[in-house]
Amino acid sequence: ADGSPGIPHKTQIKVRVEANDGSWHDRVPAWIKLAWQDHTTNLFNGVFWEPPDEERYEFLNPRPP
């Protein structure tokens, strides 16, 4: 393992969960940092957000006290 994420950056993710009554439901996982809305269905898809180091935002100023 080289330390890189197993899921590619910007991959859309949902989890399919089976309820006690046997019905299935699609859910966005709690660990997801971003959700994009599908405008054809108005539903949200979780997005795995872990950009490579060269694409990460770097703050230009120190955090205020």
Query: 1-37 pLDDT, tens per residue?
Result: 788 889 999 999 999 999 999 999 999 999 999 999 9
Query: 39-60 pLDDT, tens per residue?
Result: 999 999 999 999 988 999 999 9
Question: What are the strands, taking DSSP E only, across 1-65?
Answer: 11-13, 15-18, 24-27, 34-38, 43-48
Give the model's pLDDT for residue 56: 92
pTM recorded for the entire structure: 0.72
**What gap in Å lies between CA 9 and CA 55, rounded to an integer?**
11
The domains of the chain, with CATH numbers, are 11-53 (2.60.40.10)
Look up tokens 């997005």; give the residue.
47
Cα–Cα distances (Å) from 3 to 7, 32, 52, 53, in that order, read 12, 19, 12, 13
